[in-house]
A and B are shown apart, each in its own frame.
Chain A
Amino acid sequence: METLQPSDSALISLYIAGKEEAFAHLLERHKARVFTTIMLIVRDEDVADDLLQDTFIKAIHTMKSGRYNEEGKFSSWICRIAHNLAIDFFRREKRSPLLNLDTTSHAFNSLSHAEEGVESALTREETYAQLRELIQDLPTAQKEVLIMRHYGDMSFQEIADATGVSINTALGRMRYALINLRKKMAVQPIPYDQNLTQREPAPVRVQRIAS
């Protein structure tokens, strides 16, 4: 039977009341999402680690000083802080952008390699590095929506509010982000996973991927 997990709101209340372990739960629950959001912008693990710390330190200060606003989702709030810090960093470093050529580093080793050979593991990592580069090349507004929605767990309405556009504009940007990713992947085919590439219309496949 699945154990009922405390909500983010409950954990925040406990943390503010002095239960330190509640914060550890919050961090465990959101660290990967926040880190990925940062990583896709700054593209450097060490910088992303530093910015992750800055993000949660800001959150700690806000929660412990009683300034945390309960209205929104914690996940959206923390990812918005992370996104802003990453963008600030990126702007500061724009003259000398980071370029991490080590595509085999641990950041994209999220899948287990225990059951696959070294060669296929490397191909997989190259594929992910390539996909990450394609995301980097998206127009800024599209990249922003894609990262906030897919990795930041923000709803399209929350993204619209955070970026000062209508929900239809946010949805349109996401749609064009996916269209552009497809186009780029058609020009620069990715060897391992063809999920985003263009192809001839195929028979209905909803059943196949439903599991």
Chain B
Amino acid sequence: MIKTLPNENLLRYVYNELPVEEQHEVEQALVHDPELATACADLLLAQRTLNALASKPSARSVEAILQYSRNFMRSA
């Protein structure tokens, strides 16, 4: 299974960090290399799973921050 895991370039590709030319190179490779494409798909699915853990703070906490900022503006 290790062989289908993303290499470092693929990681940068799925996180949109590669320069355009290198993006094209990866995309060409994905077309011709099913194993690489599978690794890419696995990584995108993993991203989606990790995205599901995203959480939000309480409204009370957000309001407290806004209140602090408003008071800071007045006292500054």
| Contact surface of A with B, Cβ cutoff 8 Å | 18, 20, 23-24, 27, 31-33, 35-36, 39-40, 45, 48-50, 52-53, 56-57, 60-61, 64, 106-108, 110-111, 128, 131-132, 135, 146, 149-151, 155-157, 168, 171-172, 174-175, 178-179, 181-182, 193, 195-196, 198-199, 201-206, 208-209
Contacts and interface: CB of A to CB of B under 8 A. Distances in A.
Contact of B65 (A53, A106, A108, A131): A53
Given A179-B2, A204-B34, A205-B41, A57 B68 contact: yes
Interface of B: 1-2, 4-8, 11-12, 15, 17, 30, 34-35, 37-38, 40-58, 60-62, 64-66, 68-70, 72-73, 76
A195 B66 contact: no
A69 B62 CA distance: 24
| Residue with the highest number of chain A CB atoms closer than 10 Å, among B46, B52, B54 | B54
A195 B48 contact: yes
Interface SS, B side: helix
Contact of A206 (B7, B30, B47): B30
A208 to B, nearest CB: 7
B46 A195 contact: yes
A117 B36 CA distance: 37
Contacts of A195: 42, 45-46, 48-49
Contacts of B4: 201
Most buried by B among A39, A52, A57, A206: A206
20 contacts: A23-B69, A24-B66, A32-B57, A36-B55, A39-B55, A52-B65, A64-B72, A108-B55, A110-B56, A111-B52, A146-B50, A150-B47, A151-B53, A182-B1, A195-B45, A201-B4, A202-B38, A204-B41, A206-B41, A208-B41
Contacts of B5: 175, 178-179, 182
